[in-house]
Amino acid sequence: MKELSIFVDESGDFGDYNYLSPYYIVTLIIHEQEKSISEQVKTLDLCFDNMNINLKAIHTAPLIRREDVYKLLHKDIRLKIFNTFFHFTRKVGIKYKNIIVDKKHKNSIDINKSISKQLSLFIRDNLNYFQNFDNIIIYYDNGQEQLANILVSVFTSWFHDKFDYRTVSPYEYKLFQVADFICTFPCSYSHGFNSKRERVRTPNLGESFINRTVMQLLMAIMS
Protein backbone atom coordinates (compact mmCIF):
# COMPACT_ATOMS: atom_id res chain seq x y z
CA MET A 1 0.00 0.00 0.00
CA LYS A 2 1.38 3.38 -1.02
CA GLU A 3 0.99 6.05 1.64
CA LEU A 4 1.47 9.79 1.44
CA SER A 5 2.12 11.74 4.63
CA ILE A 6 1.33 15.45 4.86
CA PHE A 7 2.66 17.36 7.86
CA VAL A 8 0.96 20.69 8.51
CA ASP A 9 1.96 23.77 10.45
CA GLU A 10 0.60 27.29 10.51
CA SER A 11 1.74 30.83 11.23
CA GLY A 12 -0.71 33.53 12.23
CA ASP A 13 -4.31 33.35 13.36
CA PHE A 14 -7.88 33.96 12.22
CA GLY A 15 -8.11 37.24 14.15
CA ASP A 16 -8.13 40.80 12.86
CA TYR A 17 -5.39 42.18 10.64
CA ASN A 18 -2.23 43.25 12.46
CA TYR A 19 0.65 44.94 10.63
CA LEU A 20 3.09 42.92 12.75
CA SER A 21 1.53 39.68 11.47
CA PRO A 22 -0.25 40.53 8.21
CA TYR A 23 -0.43 37.00 6.77
CA TYR A 24 -1.89 33.65 7.65
CA ILE A 25 0.40 30.91 6.35
CA VAL A 26 -0.26 27.18 6.13
CA THR A 27 2.68 24.93 5.28
CA LEU A 28 2.18 21.42 3.92
CA ILE A 29 5.18 19.06 3.92
CA ILE A 30 4.55 16.12 1.60
CA HIS A 31 6.48 12.90 2.11
CA GLU A 32 6.11 9.58 0.30
CA GLN A 33 6.31 6.92 2.99
CA GLU A 34 8.18 4.44 0.82
CA LYS A 35 11.14 6.85 0.84
CA SER A 36 12.73 6.29 4.22
CA ILE A 37 14.45 9.18 6.00
CA SER A 38 15.79 7.06 8.87
CA GLU A 39 19.43 7.55 7.84
CA GLN A 40 19.01 11.31 7.63
CA VAL A 41 17.37 11.33 11.07
CA LYS A 42 20.25 9.28 12.52
CA THR A 43 22.76 11.71 11.03
CA LEU A 44 20.85 14.68 12.44
CA ASP A 45 20.69 13.16 15.92
CA LEU A 46 24.39 12.31 15.78
CA CYS A 47 25.25 15.90 14.82
CA PHE A 48 23.34 17.22 17.82
CA ASP A 49 24.92 14.61 20.09
CA ASN A 50 28.36 15.75 18.94
CA MET A 51 27.38 19.32 19.89
CA ASN A 52 26.27 18.09 23.33
CA ILE A 53 22.82 19.48 22.60
CA ASN A 54 19.77 17.73 24.00
CA LEU A 55 16.74 19.07 22.15
CA LYS A 56 13.47 17.15 21.94
CA ALA A 57 12.45 19.20 18.90
CA ILE A 58 13.62 22.13 16.81
CA HIS A 59 11.33 25.15 17.00
CA THR A 60 12.66 27.69 14.53
CA ALA A 61 11.14 31.01 15.65
CA PRO A 62 12.34 30.74 19.28
CA LEU A 63 15.73 29.58 17.95
CA ILE A 64 16.03 32.77 15.92
CA ARG A 65 14.70 35.04 18.66
CA ARG A 66 16.71 33.35 21.43
CA GLU A 67 13.65 32.36 23.44
CA ASP A 68 12.54 29.38 25.55
CA VAL A 69 15.12 26.58 25.62
CA TYR A 70 17.45 28.61 23.37
CA LYS A 71 17.69 31.74 25.52
CA LEU A 72 20.93 30.72 27.25
CA LEU A 73 22.65 29.39 24.12
CA HIS A 74 25.47 31.37 22.55
CA LYS A 75 24.78 32.63 19.03
CA ASP A 76 27.45 30.29 17.60
CA ILE A 77 25.60 27.28 18.97
CA ARG A 78 22.28 28.57 17.66
CA LEU A 79 23.86 29.07 14.24
CA LYS A 80 25.12 25.47 14.29
CA ILE A 81 21.65 24.20 15.20
CA PHE A 82 20.07 26.24 12.41
CA ASN A 83 22.67 25.14 9.85
CA THR A 84 22.38 21.48 10.81
CA PHE A 85 18.59 21.45 10.55
CA PHE A 86 18.66 23.43 7.31
CA HIS A 87 20.87 20.79 5.68
CA PHE A 88 18.66 18.03 7.08
CA THR A 89 15.69 19.72 5.39
CA ARG A 90 17.56 19.77 2.08
CA LYS A 91 18.34 16.05 2.22
CA VAL A 92 15.04 14.43 3.21
CA GLY A 93 13.45 14.70 -0.23
CA ILE A 94 10.24 16.38 0.83
CA LYS A 95 7.85 18.36 -1.33
CA TYR A 96 5.96 21.32 0.04
CA LYS A 97 3.23 23.87 -0.44
CA ASN A 98 2.68 27.18 1.33
CA ILE A 99 -0.80 28.67 1.39
CA ILE A 100 -0.60 32.38 2.14
CA VAL A 101 -3.52 34.65 2.94
CA ASP A 102 -3.13 38.41 3.17
CA LYS A 103 -5.38 39.26 6.12
CA LYS A 104 -5.83 42.92 5.22
CA HIS A 105 -9.55 43.75 4.85
CA LYS A 106 -10.50 40.13 5.73
CA ASN A 107 -12.46 38.72 8.63
CA SER A 108 -12.23 35.15 9.94
CA ILE A 109 -14.82 33.88 7.45
CA ASP A 110 -12.87 35.40 4.55
CA ILE A 111 -9.65 33.78 5.80
CA ASN A 112 -11.43 30.43 6.12
CA LYS A 113 -12.78 30.70 2.56
CA SER A 114 -9.40 31.70 1.14
CA ILE A 115 -7.54 28.80 2.78
CA SER A 116 -10.22 26.31 1.72
CA LYS A 117 -10.18 27.58 -1.87
CA GLN A 118 -6.38 27.59 -2.19
CA LEU A 119 -6.12 24.12 -0.66
CA SER A 120 -8.80 22.71 -2.94
CA LEU A 121 -7.19 24.27 -6.04
CA PHE A 122 -3.83 22.86 -5.00
CA ILE A 123 -5.31 19.35 -4.76
CA ARG A 124 -7.12 19.75 -8.08
CA ASP A 125 -3.98 20.93 -9.88
CA ASN A 126 -2.01 17.95 -8.51
CA LEU A 127 -4.77 15.36 -8.50
CA ASN A 128 -2.89 12.90 -10.72
CA TYR A 129 -0.07 12.87 -8.22
CA PHE A 130 -2.33 12.35 -5.19
CA GLN A 131 -4.24 9.57 -6.93
CA ASN A 132 -1.04 7.50 -7.05
CA PHE A 133 -1.47 6.76 -3.33
CA ASP A 134 -3.77 4.33 -1.55
CA ASN A 135 -3.84 6.36 1.64
CA ILE A 136 -3.24 10.04 2.41
CA ILE A 137 -2.54 10.94 6.04
CA ILE A 138 -2.60 14.45 7.49
CA TYR A 139 -0.46 15.04 10.60
CA TYR A 140 -1.34 18.17 12.58
CA ASP A 141 -1.05 19.15 16.23
CA ASN A 142 -4.53 20.73 16.32
CA GLY A 143 -2.90 24.04 17.16
CA GLN A 144 -5.89 25.85 15.68
CA GLU A 145 -9.28 24.20 15.50
CA GLN A 146 -10.38 26.32 12.53
CA LEU A 147 -7.50 25.02 10.42
CA ALA A 148 -8.03 21.42 11.57
CA ASN A 149 -11.67 21.64 10.43
CA ILE A 150 -10.62 23.02 7.03
CA LEU A 151 -8.07 20.24 6.51
CA VAL A 152 -10.55 17.50 7.36
CA SER A 153 -13.33 19.04 5.27
CA VAL A 154 -11.28 19.66 2.11
CA PHE A 155 -9.32 16.41 2.10
CA THR A 156 -12.40 14.32 2.90
CA SER A 157 -14.31 15.93 0.03
CA TRP A 158 -11.57 14.94 -2.41
CA PHE A 159 -10.37 11.58 -1.10
CA HIS A 160 -13.17 10.17 1.08
CA ASP A 161 -12.07 6.87 2.64
CA LYS A 162 -8.51 7.25 1.31
CA PHE A 163 -7.94 10.09 3.78
CA ASP A 164 -6.90 9.83 7.44
CA TYR A 165 -6.25 12.55 10.02
CA ARG A 166 -3.90 12.13 12.96
CA THR A 167 -3.20 14.46 15.87
CA VAL A 168 0.50 14.54 16.70
CA SER A 169 3.01 16.26 18.94
CA PRO A 170 5.85 18.22 17.30
CA TYR A 171 8.27 16.07 19.30
CA GLU A 172 7.14 12.88 17.53
CA TYR A 173 8.10 13.65 13.93
CA LYS A 174 11.11 15.41 12.44
CA LEU A 175 9.07 16.31 9.36
CA PHE A 176 6.59 18.17 11.53
CA GLN A 177 9.57 20.21 12.70
CA VAL A 178 10.49 20.75 9.03
CA ALA A 179 6.99 22.17 8.50
CA ASP A 180 7.63 24.61 11.34
CA PHE A 181 11.07 25.42 9.87
CA ILE A 182 9.69 26.30 6.42
CA CYS A 183 6.60 28.04 7.80
CA THR A 184 8.91 30.47 9.61
CA PHE A 185 10.33 31.77 6.34
CA PRO A 186 8.82 34.73 4.47
CA CYS A 187 6.51 34.53 1.49
CA SER A 188 9.32 33.55 -0.90
CA TYR A 189 8.29 29.95 -0.16
CA SER A 190 4.76 30.40 -1.43
CA HIS A 191 5.26 28.81 -4.84
CA GLY A 192 6.57 25.40 -3.88
CA PHE A 193 4.33 23.50 -6.31
CA ASN A 194 3.77 26.17 -8.92
CA SER A 195 5.93 24.77 -11.69
CA LYS A 196 4.00 24.60 -14.98
CA ARG A 197 6.18 21.81 -16.33
CA GLU A 198 6.10 19.73 -13.18
CA ARG A 199 3.41 20.62 -10.70
CA VAL A 200 4.76 18.46 -7.91
CA ARG A 201 8.40 19.09 -7.26
CA THR A 202 11.09 19.15 -4.60
CA PRO A 203 11.62 22.61 -3.09
CA ASN A 204 14.48 24.70 -4.37
CA LEU A 205 16.73 25.24 -1.39
CA GLY A 206 19.64 26.44 -3.47
CA GLU A 207 21.61 29.68 -3.76
CA SER A 208 18.67 32.07 -4.12
CA PHE A 209 17.06 30.59 -1.03
CA ILE A 210 20.26 30.97 0.98
CA ASN A 211 20.91 34.50 -0.25
CA ARG A 212 17.44 35.89 0.39
CA THR A 213 16.03 34.04 3.36
CA VAL A 214 18.58 31.98 5.22
CA MET A 215 21.01 34.87 5.39
CA GLN A 216 18.28 37.09 6.83
CA LEU A 217 17.53 34.51 9.49
CA LEU A 218 21.19 33.98 10.28
CA MET A 219 21.61 37.72 10.76
CA ALA A 220 18.62 37.66 13.11
CA ILE A 221 20.28 34.90 15.14
CA MET A 222 23.54 36.81 15.31
CA SER A 223 21.94 40.07 16.42
Closest listed residue to residue 90, CA positions, set 183, 206, 189: 206
Q: What 3-state DSSP class applies to 42? A: helix
Residue 139 forms beta bridges with which residues? 7, 166
Give the domain 3-222 fold.
Nucleotidyltransferase; domain 5 (3.30.420)
What CA–CA distance (Å, rounded) separates 67 from 186?
20
pLDDT at position 153 is: 97
CB 93 within 8 A of CB 39: no
Per-residue pLDDT tens over the stretch 194-216: 323 333 443 433 344 444 555 55
Residue 187: its pLDDT value, please?
Answer: 46
What pLDDT is stored for residue 189 in this prediction? 40
Prediction pTM value? 0.84
pLDDT at residue 196 in the model: 32
Q: What are the average pLDDT values for consecutive 10-residue runs of the chain, which has 223 residues? A: 95 88 92 95 92 86 86 87 88 90 94 96 95 96 95 96 92 92 64 36 41 53 48
pLDDT value of residue 220: 54
**Looking at residue 162, what is its pLDDT?**
94
The per-residue pLDDT for 193 is: 38
Give the model's pLDDT for residue 56: 81
Q: What is the pLDDT of residue 44?
A: 94
Q: Do residues 29 and 96 touch, judged by C-beta distance below 8 A?
A: yes
Looking at residue 185, what is its pLDDT?
72
pLDDT per residue over 116-127, tens digit each?
999 999 999 999
Q: Which residues contact 82 (CB under 8 A, 6 or more apart)?
A: 60, 63, 64, 217, 218, 221
The pLDDT score that the predictor gives to residue 7 is: 97
Query: Taken in order 159, 160, 163, 168, is the CA torsion positive or negative?
Result: positive
